[in-house]
Amino acid sequence: MANVAEVHAEALIRRLAEELKKNDAFTPPEWAKFVKTGMNRERVPEQPDWWYIRAAAIMRKLYFKPLGTSRLRVLYGGKKNRGYKPEKFYKASGSIIRKILQQLEKAGYAQKSKKGRELTPEGRKLLDKLAKEL
């Protein structure tokens, strides 16, 4: 039996994103098609389903350990090209991550803990089931 750590991350995230599209609790806000995912980005995401992919990636990260919004902002941040000046690290958008975590809670896949947010047994069960399929 394969677990989440043994399955290829990209394949699991794609499959989980398809599952999240079926859930009514996950709907991208109207402003999601106009925003960048962080200050380090130059353009908005090109994929039309990027919201679900980010939600699936966050859910996979929560499977391994509880994380809060600020830690996830660092994980999804990156260096910004500032022209002739040296590159500088910027965090990702906190609003996007916060809204996704709230949607995970609403769907029953995550809950608040002392260290941030963690997956509920239902969320772990979904990830384990998808890992077994793959």
Residue 67 lies in a domain: yes
Q: What is the pTM of this model?
A: 0.90
Residue 4 lies in a domain: no
User: How sure is the predictor about 1, in pLDDT bands with cuts at 50, 70 and 90?
Assistant: low
Q: For residues 2 and 50, which has the higher predicted lDDT (pLDDT)?
A: 50
- CATH (domain of 122): 1.10.10.10
- Domain limits at 30? 9-133
User: How sure is the predictor about 64, in pLDDT bands with cuts at 50, 70 and 90?
Assistant: very high
Residue 3 lies in a domain: no
Residue 1 lies in a domain: no
- The single residue listed with the structure tokens 């859930």 is 23
Number of domains into which the chain is organized: 1
End-to-end CA distance of the chain: 10
Each residue of 37-60: pLDDT tens digit? 888 888 988 888 999 999 999 999
Each residue of 98-122: pLDDT tens digit? 999 999 999 999 999 998 899 999 9
Residue 52 lies in a domain: yes
Residue 11 has pLDDT above 80, yes or no: yes
Per-residue pLDDT at 101: 94
Residue 68 lies in a domain: yes
Residue 46 lies in a domain: yes
Residue 26 has pLDDT above 90, yes or no: no
Residue 121 lies in a domain: yes
